[in-house]
């Protein structure tokens, strides 16, 4: 079984459609990439600006807190020995500033002189934590790293030194902010303004998270060393980062100068690029009608271009039919290649049909006389017999034809044979009367469904014409003939030829130039 070949229309349509889709897809891809980069770039700038704004706000807040602690430290230093003055200042600071979860006055030997009311049980005790030691040792404004308080809470400690008028270092006044409770950082930083999975967090110089929307993440350490390093160098910027969960995000970061902290604003990459995807979908949908129209135009154009070639190909398949060449003339060969191909095919078809006609004629026609040859006659008789059609057989033989060849030559003899063939052709009427060359100077005429008297009359007419007309020899020639009918005389074809042939020789024996019909005795 032969595999069906792809047509030129299918090939051309496929290529043009594929090209259109490729161009359209490439355009969408380029548009998406440009739009996507633009949104990413805008998000980087936005998050950087947002982080910088929050960092500035946090800086102002810490500056204000330090100023308040400094003021309280100066007030306490003026009446350091007065317990009531110290307590009043702590209470006043606690009422004035709601940012601290607890307030404490520490001596240089870590004794808690005063605390805010919620930590009064610590008053008079020694607070020898690492954070307390660092704050006392600093002797300057101090902001701690995250630490666990004596009450098992995660916090940071802000303090300011207390110096006497004579310069003696007396201790510090400080406030603790509990990181996992509502505090000032949560108030001033709040949640990210994008409610789409974006978030803000604050880290210290070691990378520990001081503030986050998610309390569970406070106190943990971020893994992006680049951001930690840049914040520790008091730098700001923005970049794409990959989190521990493998998801990408756009991060803007800025340093809080007062505490060497950093604010980081992160937004999921998927949310940043979502508008680009939305733009892509809208562009694709809005372009769809134009694409459909383009594809229809492409199909119609491809069909129009390939129609001449397809018509030629179809007609080439029908070259055995006489009408194909005529139809091919009507093919609209409107472009050069189709025109040239049409001319070439028509020329080839014309030559081919001439050859076919030539060989067909040679196979069914006697080349000398133009009459039906013996093989074709046999085929015709077989068909008539199969159809059970009645017919009459007339066999003709020229008298003394050998003398013609010997006297006038074979060329004249051939002319005599053609002369007889022409008379036979003029004698018959219709398609049911067939003239054949039987062999040599013997000829046959077949009469389908004709009565015997009709054939006898025809044979006599031919005989008389030959007798009364000069042949190519310059003289009349004569003929002898035999006639028999199927199935009147016999129902066996071979026997019929024998009977008619015997009748022919009966004519020869009786003096020639006569017609003899098969008789009952011959049967």
Token representation of residue 89: 């200042």
Mean pLDDT of the residues in the chain = 83
The architecture of the domain spanning 66-178 is: 2-Layer Sandwich (3.30)
| CB-CB contact of 190 with 198 (8 Å) | no
Q: So what's the pLDDT on residue 117?
A: 61
Q: Which residue has the tokens 């005989």?
A: 463
pTM: 0.55
The string of DSSP codes covering 366-404 is -TTT-SB-HHHHHHHHHHHHHTT--EEEEEEEETTHHHH
- Domains 8-61+184-273 and 66-178 equal at CATH topology level: yes
Give the helix ranges, DSSP H, for 221-333: 225-232, 269-316, 323-329
- Confidence band for 370, pLDDT divided at 50, 70 and 90: confident
Span 291-307, average pLDDT: 83
Q: So what's the pLDDT on residue 356?
A: 47
Query: Could you state, in order of their start, the residue ranges of all structural domains in the chain?
Result: 8-61+184-273, 66-178, 374-517
Active-site choice (111, 266, 441, 520): 441
CATH fold of 8-61+184-273, please? Beta-Lactamase (3.30.450)
Residue 403, number of CB atoms within 10 A of its CB: 12
Q: So what's the pLDDT on residue 194?
A: 64
Q: What percentage of the chain exceeds 70 in pLDDT?
A: 88
pLDDT (tens digit per residue) in 310-365: 776 776 666 555 555 666 667 777 777 767 776 776 676 665 555 445 444 455 78
Q: What percentage of the chain exceeds 90 in pLDDT?
A: 28
pLDDT (tens digit per residue) in 157-198: 999 999 988 889 999 999 888 888 877 777 777 666 666 778
Asked if the model's pLDDT at residue 44 lies above 80, the reply is: yes
Q: So what's the pLDDT on residue 29?
A: 85
Q: What is the dotted CATH code of the domain comprising 374-517?
A: 3.30.70.270
Span 128-157, average pLDDT: 88
Span 212-240, average pLDDT: 79
Residue 267, number of CB atoms within 10 A of its CB: 23
Pairing of strands 261-268, 442-448: unpaired
The question of whether 441 is a catalytic residue gets the answer yes
Span 411-435, average pLDDT: 92
Q: Which residue has the higher pLDDT, 308 or 445?
A: 445
| CB-CB contact of 450 with 431 (8 Å) | no
Q: Which residue has the higher pLDDT, 201 or 192?
A: 201
């Amino acid at each position: 079984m032969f595999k069906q070949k792809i047509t030129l229309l299918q090939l051309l349509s496929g290529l043009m459609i594929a090209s259109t889709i490729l161009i359209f897809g490439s355009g969408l891809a380029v548009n998406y990439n440009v739009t996507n980069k633009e949104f990413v770039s805008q998000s980087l700038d936005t998050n950087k600006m947002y982080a910088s704004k929050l960092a500035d706000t946090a800086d102002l807040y810490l500056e204000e807190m330090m100023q308040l602690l400094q003021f309280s430290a100066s007030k306490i230093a003026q009446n350091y020995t007065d317990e009531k003055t110290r307590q009043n200042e702590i209470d006043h600071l606690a009422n004035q500033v709601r940012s601290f979860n607890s307030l404490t006055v520490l001596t240089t030997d870590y004794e808690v002189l005063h605390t805010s009311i919620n930590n009064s049980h610590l008053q008079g005790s020694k607070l020898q934590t690492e954070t307390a030691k660092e704050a006392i040792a600093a002797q300057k404004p101090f902001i701690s790293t995250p630490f666990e308080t004596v009450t098992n809470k995660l916090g940071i400690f802000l303090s300011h030194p207390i110096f006497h008028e004579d310069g003696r270092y007396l201790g510090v006044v400080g406030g603790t902010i509990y990181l996992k409770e509502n505090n000032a950082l949560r108030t001033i930083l709040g949640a990210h303004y994008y409610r789409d999975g974006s978030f803000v967090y604050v880290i210290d110089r070691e990378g520990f998270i001081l503030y986050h929307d998610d309390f569970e993440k406070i106190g943990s350490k971020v893994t992006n060393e680049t951001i930690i390093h840049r914040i520790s160098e008091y730098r700001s910027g923005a970049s794409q980062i990959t989190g521990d969960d493998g998801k990408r995000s756009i991060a803007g970061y800025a340093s809080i100068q007062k505490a060497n902290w950093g604010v980081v604003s992160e937004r999921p990459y998927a949310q940043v690029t979502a508008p680009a995807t939305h733009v892509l979908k809208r562009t694709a949908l809005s372009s769809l009608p134009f694409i459909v129209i383009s594809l229809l135009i492409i199909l119609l154009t491809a069909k129009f271009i390939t129609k001449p070639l397809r018509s030629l190909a179809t007609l080439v398949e029908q070259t055995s039919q006489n009408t194909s060449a005529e139809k091919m003339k009507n093919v609209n060969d409107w472009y050069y290649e189709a025109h040239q191909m049409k001319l070439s095919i028509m020329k080839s078809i014309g030559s081919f049909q001439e050859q076919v006609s030539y060989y067909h004629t040679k196979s069914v026609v006697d080349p000398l006389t133009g009459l039906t040859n013996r093989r074709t006659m046999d085929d015709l008789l077989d068909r008539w017999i199969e159809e059970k059609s009645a017919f009459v057989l007339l066999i003709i033989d020229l008298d003394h034809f050998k003398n013609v060849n010997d006297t006038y030559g074979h060329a004249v003899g051939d002319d005599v044979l053609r002369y007889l063939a022409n008379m036979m052709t003029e004698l018959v009427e219709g398609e049911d009367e067939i003239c054949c060359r039987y062999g040599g100077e013997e000829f046959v005429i077949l009469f389908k469904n004709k009565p015997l008297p009709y054939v006898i009359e025809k044979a006599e007419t031919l005989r008389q014409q030959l007798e009364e007309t000069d042949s190519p020899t310059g003289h009349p020639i004569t003929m002898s003939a035999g006639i028999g009918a199927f199935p009147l005389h016999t129902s066996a074809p071979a026997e019929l030829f024998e009977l008619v042939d015997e009748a022919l020789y009966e004519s020869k024996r009786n003096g020639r130039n006569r017609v003899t019909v098969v008789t009952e005795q011959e049967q």
